[in-house]
Chains A and B, each alone.
Chain A
Amino acid sequence: MEQKTQEEDQIVTPWEVAAEKGGKIDYDKLIDKFGCQRLDQSLIDRVARLTGRPPHVFLRRGVFFAHRDFSDVLDAYERGEKFYLYTGRGPSSEALHLGHLVPFMFTKYLQDAFKVPLVIQLTDDEKCMWKNLTVEESQRLARENAKDIIACGFDVSRTFIFSDFDYVGGTEASTCNLDYFSDVSIYFQEIFKMHTTIKCDMDPAGLWFCMVLLFEISPVSCHTCASSAFTVEIIVQFLLQEHGQDCKVVGIFGFSGEDHIGKVSFPPVQVDMLLAAPSFPSSFPHLFSGKDSLRCLIPCAIDQDPYFRMTRDVAPRLGYHKPALIESSFFPALQGETGKMSASDPNSAIYVTDSAKDIKNKVNRYAFSGGQDSIENHRKYGANLEVDIPVKYLGFFLDDDAELEHIRTEYGAGRMLTGEVKKRLIEVLTELVERHRRARAAVTDEMVDAFMAVRPLPNMFS
């Protein structure tokens, strides 16, 4: 029965990640299904060669294991053509856990190793919509998250952090001939507020869609209706193609009165739009003006891959390079490799606000162990490294390859006990969290302002 096999398949979508019954995520299958590529050893060696430093621990351990067009980016880099990095976060809660830090840690490495600029998007609007937060609360969360992100060690002279509420349609839209909206970002916020208080037939998803388009096309030198219609048309066509008749096109407001843009009711599509704009250098005229051929590299978790497919499809039609992706596997929850960490269960993850005592407690009590149930059995059979969480976590955070190898060998053979492995993990995690906390304490509100200021970055490639 077809239905049944479908249910038994692993599920990997941006909202849900579940392995096949009783198993773990099969990444090879995932790569096949999505159509991206493995990051093989030759690419890793190439990165090491090009950057003149050892590859990041996440590359060495296969945490970042898949990509799209990364080799093209490296080819261009070798020719002297730089690229920029784009990553982001939906600031849904104040508490960040280690799983959240993984992409940022890797992005920092990429920034330092390749000496390229980075834009970080805080999708406060998306979270605002889906989590029923007020606009102000959403913006506040975004700033709090920004502090944790900055604490990962990004270089302010080549990093631009922006929140959708603040940046979208702000300076940029006002530079083009749209007297319609004198202060677009405030207008945008007002729309959201309106939606919750007044019943109107302006679907915020559709509005957001329009805003993003506005944002996307406005910096481009030709502000004519024709070009805007052209862009809209492409996107609408794509949507119709993807979603068939379910995508209704109902007018809201138009660019110079003649175009009607779709009332788009699909969350996935709406988010696609959210992420499309920053993948194109023209979205940041204060940074990349005149550099339409600048490539974009996006480090993300592999479940984000579907989000970027539309963008990659649309890019060539708009005259841009497809954004390249470099994708990571999931950071396992403390209780085991059954899925992602969840911000709603505090014992499924180590948070950056955890004290040394908390970390010790969580690891000792909740970290799923692959060791045997008794010491005799353990000495006899050794530990099951496939499911053991402490060893997996060490794989992420213990930099010393030799030491990790030693632990894996000894633990796998049963000569080392779970307690010892956990003890080492606690040390490593405590050090990491402490370092983060201190760095975080050094981030002031002014520093957040500086990172988020729309300003040129003259040394972003040096």
Chain B
Amino acid sequence: MTSKFAELQIVFSQYEHPVVLTVEAQAKYVGHVKGALSKNLFLKDKKQRFYIVSALAETKVDLKVLSQRLGLGKGGLRMAPEEALAEILQVPLGCVTPFALVNDSARNVSLLLDQGFKSQECCFFHPLSNDMSIALNARDLDKFLNSIGKNPAYIDLEANPTVGKDQPPDLANLVPSDAAVLAAPVEKQSQGSEKNHISVNNQQNAVTGYICHMHHNDTFRPKLSSRNLLFVHCCDGQSMVLMCIVDLSLASKAVKPSNASTKEKSSGAASSSISYADTDKFVEEILEKTKSIVLSEIKEENAEKYREQLATLVSNNISKLGVELKNIATIFKNTAYTEGFKAGIHHQPKRM
């Protein structure tokens, strides 16, 4: 990587030290040097999209606010699991860094940079290992990022603008357009443009339904017919809570780790096995579907017309929705019962 720096004529200083896992530990070794330390978070959202948030150590980063600003709703952002660190960023624990984007596996990771970096003479980041720290100016960081085809996005991480019906999430454009591809084979849904849907699932997870909080300007692409939609007014009046039942044609996303996409026919991933035991996925998928449907129906209408339209859609689609919901719920119940049954037959009775 340092050769790349030389190529781009980037001015930097490099410091070696024992492996550090935290900013505090790093500070012990390079804190005396002129330069701002950075804290780097590797995050993921519910649709398996990943983000690096790189900020000055003293900047307060509120994940809930960030999540809303990105248009992911409240609580849409979480710390990414350790495996993702290895798989996507290809860095060890404690080494999240903007430089990890040099890896092809990280091509769909979105980078959010603290605008505070710009006012510093130089900032510290790890290269691809945490036994070294590199200090460079924000401009040089940009040079590097541009050279690997990344557009640096500097934002005020402490800002907390209201996000609502009339105020769209200001960071929505920073959401990656493609879900990250993990090592396990992914069943891509055959009906195209499913980029914003859950498409990766390492374990056999249920994907059947969810409740979503809808924002006016969501960027998701619509997919379903309006038949599968039910609207319920939510308490805060600003947005509607929507329940949608997965059209089961989109429900089958999970893939057995041993079984790749081979023999599928054009109708989609129907032969992959789905476990309906996972309620998170259940709920998520409903939300997902709801979002798409709502947007497919809303499009350019203004607020008033939008409400009326929704009301009509509700009454028209409620019964169809009910049927599908019950089918899914029955499968869910049967699965839960089966697990209990299996546990029961294997259970060892107490010794008296």
Partner-B contacts on A (CB < 8 A) = 112, 150, 153-157, 355-357, 430-431, 434-435, 437-439, 441-444, 446-447, 449-450, 453, 455
Task: Give the most central of A112, A155, A441: most B CB within 10 Å.
Answer: A441
Which of A356, A357, A441, A453 is the one whose CB lies under 8 Å from B272? Answer: A441
**Could you say which residues of chain A place their CB within 8 Å of the CB of B339?**
446
Give me the interface of B with A, judged by CB distance under 8 Å. Answer: 248-249, 251-252, 265-268, 270-276, 324, 326-327, 330-331, 333-335, 337-339, 341-342
Q: Which A residues lie within 8 Å of B331 (CB)?
A: 153, 439, 442
CA distance A153 to B330 in the complex (A): 6
Q: Are B273 and A450 interface neighbours, CB within 8 A?
A: no
Structural contact, B270 and A156, CB atoms closer than 8 A: no
Contact A155 B333 (CB under 8 A): yes
Give the residue name and chain of the B residue nearest to A357 (CB). Answer: B266
Q: How far is the CB of B68 from chain A (nearest CB, A)?
A: 34
A453 touching B341 in the complex, CB below 8 Å, given contacts A150-B334, A435-B248? yes
Q: In whole angstroms, how far apart are the Cα atoms of A419 and B324 in the complex?
A: 28
Q: Known interface pairs A155-B334, A157-B337, A435-B248. Does A446 touch B342 (Cβ–Cβ under 8 Å)?
A: yes
Given contacts A153-B327, A434-B248, A442-B273, contact A447 B335 (CB under 8 A): yes
B46–chain A nearest beta-carbon distance, Å: 22
CB <8 Å contact, A156 and B337: yes
What residue in chain A is nearest B337 (Cβ atoms)? Answer: A156
User: Is there contact, CB below 8 Å, between A438 and B338?
Assistant: no
Cβ–Cβ < 8 Å partners of B276 in chain A: 442
B338 touches A447 (CB 8 A): yes
Q: Is the CB of A355 within 8 A of B274?
A: no
User: A443 — which chain B residues lie within 8 A by C-beta?
Assistant: 334
Decide if B252 touches A357 in the complex (CB within 8 Å): no
Beta-carbon nearest neighbor of B265 in chain A: A355
Which residues in B have their C-beta under 8 angstroms from that of A447?
A: 334-335, 338
New contact pairs (19) apart from A155-B330, A157-B333, CB-CB < 8 Å:
A153-B330, A155-B334, A156-B333, A156-B334, A356-B266, A356-B267, A357-B265, A434-B248, A434-B267, A441-B252, A441-B273, A442-B274, A442-B335, A444-B335, A446-B338, A446-B341, A447-B335, A450-B342, A453-B341
Task: Assess the A438–B334 pair: CB atoms within 8 A.
Answer: no
6 smallest beta-carbon distances between A and B, as pairs = A356-B267, A355-B265, A450-B341, A447-B338, A450-B338, A156-B334
- Beyond A156-B338, A450-B338, is A438–B274 a contact (Cβ under 8 Å)? yes
Q: How far is the CA of A453 from the CA of B273 in the complex (A)?
A: 23
Task: For residue A274, give the distance in angstroms from its CB to the closest CB of chain B.
Answer: 28
- A438-B266 in contact (CB<8A): no
Residue of A nearest to B342 (CB): A446
CB pair B271–A355 under 8 Å, yes or no, is no
Other-chain contact of B267, A153, A154, A357, A444 (Cβ < 8 Å)? A357
Q: Which residues of B contact A441 (CB under 8 A)?
A: 252, 270-274
Q: How far is the CA of A406 from the CA of B333 in the complex (A)?
A: 38
Q: How far is the CB of A34 from chain B (nearest CB, A)?
A: 34
Asked whether A438 lies within 8 Å of B270 as measured between CB atoms, the reply is: yes
**In this complex, what residue of A is CB-closest to B339?**
A446
CA distance A355 to B272 in the complex (A): 14
For residue B320, which residue of chain A has the nearest CB?
Answer: A399
Nearest neighbor of A54 in chain B, beta-carbon distance: B319
**Which residues of the partner chain B approach A150 to less than 8 Å between Cβ atoms?**
334
Known: A442-B273, A446-B338. A434 touches B249 (CB 8 A): yes
Cβ-closest chain A residue relative to B323: A399
When A155-B330, A355-B266 are in contact, do A449 and B271 touch as well, CB less than 8 Å?
Answer: no
Please name all residues of chain B whose beta carbon is closer than 8 Å to the beta carbon of A439 when the two chains form the complex: 248, 327, 331
Complex Cα spacing A153 to B325, Å = 12
In the complex, which residues of chain A have a beta carbon less than 8 angstroms from the beta carbon of B274? 438, 441-442
Given A447-B335, A450-B338: A355 and B267 interface contact (C-beta under 8 Å): yes
Which chain A residue shows the least CB distance to B254?
A441
Instruction: Write out the residue numbers on chain A whose beta carbons fall within 8 Å of the beta carbon of B273.
Output: 441-442, 444
Residues of A within 8 A of B330 (CB): 153-155
A442 touches B275 (CB 8 A): yes
Residues of B with C-beta under 8 A to A437: 270-271
Q: CA of A356 to CA of B269 in the docked complex: distance in angstroms?
A: 12
Least CB distance from B272 to A in Å reads 7
Residues of B within 8 A of A154 (CB): 330
19 contacts between A and B (CB under 8 A): A153-B327, A155-B330, A155-B334, A157-B337, A355-B267, A356-B267, A357-B266, A434-B248, A434-B267, A434-B270, A438-B251, A438-B274, A439-B327, A441-B271, A441-B273, A442-B274, A442-B275, A443-B334, A450-B337
User: How far apart are the CA atoms of A437 and B252 in the complex, in Å?
Assistant: 10
Residues in chain A near residue B270, CB distance under 8 A: 434, 437-438, 441
Shortest beta-carbon distance from A179 to chain B in Å: 27
> Bound complex: CA of A232 vs CA of B272, how far in Å?
51
A439 to B206, CA, bound (A): 12
Name the residue among A438, A441, A443 with the largest chain B CB count within 10 angstroms: A438
Known: A355-B267, A356-B265, A442-B275. A449 touches B341 (CB 8 A): yes
Chain A residue nearest to B324 in the complex (CB): A435
- Tell me the complex Cα distance, A348–B248, Å: 27
Q: How far is the CA of A112 from the CA of B327 in the complex (A)?
A: 11
Residues in B neighbouring A355, C-beta threshold 8 A: 265-267
Query: Which residues on B sit within 8 Å (CB–CB) of A453?
Result: 341
How close is B352's CB to chain A, nearest CB, in angstroms?
24
Give the CA-CA distance A112 to B330 in the complex, in Å: 11
In contact, B265 and A438 (Cβ under 8 angstroms)? no
Chain A residue nearest to B331 in the complex (CB): A442
